[in-house]
Amino acid sequence: MSDLIVKDLVCLKLKASDKTDAIRQMAKLIEKQGRLESYEEYVKSVLDRENEFSTNMGMGIAIPHGKSASVKVPTVAFAKVKKAMDWGEDDDPINMIFLLAVPGNDETNANEHLRILAALSRKLIHDEFRESLLKAKNENTIVSIISSVL
């Protein structure tokens, strides 16, 4: 279970009513993989973080994340949104979401959280990387693209 992302953590056509719904649906993917002790505790950590500061990165991308003792192993879930959605009042609409789940109980995991965020951010500024994710037709391709940078 050490892979950060696997095909069952990818949703190619997420239908969500708002960002809370999107986060809840994606957290369910993580829960189904047995990577959470408590779904509700993890979702609360992500929503608390989101309330502090929007995780909309621009360029159609949001990277909500939460550190929680209820996370068993570092995990990345990914979704393409079926119809671009608002992520915050002043934010540009988003069409891709990376949901990060990191155990929040020690220094090593805190560093892992920052490492994942930095690796994704470095690649997401490149048009060709974002385009490759948008054009990918199946979960295995998405996993391969994202795994190549993590």
The gap from C-alpha 67 to its chain's centroid, in whole angstroms, comes to 12
**E strand or H helix that includes residue 61:** strand 61-62
Please tell me what DSSP assigns to residue 128: H
CATH class for domain 7-147? Answer: alpha beta
Domain boundaries along the sequence of the chain: 7-147
Per-residue pLDDT of the chain (150 residues; tens, 9 = 90+): 359 999 999 999 999 999 999 999 999 999 999 999 999 999 999 999 999 988 999 999 999 998 899 999 999 999 999 889 999 867 789 999 999 999 986 666 667 778 898 999 999 999 999 999 999 999 999 999 999 999
For residue 16, what are the CA distances in angstroms to 6, 74, 118, 127? 21, 24, 27, 25
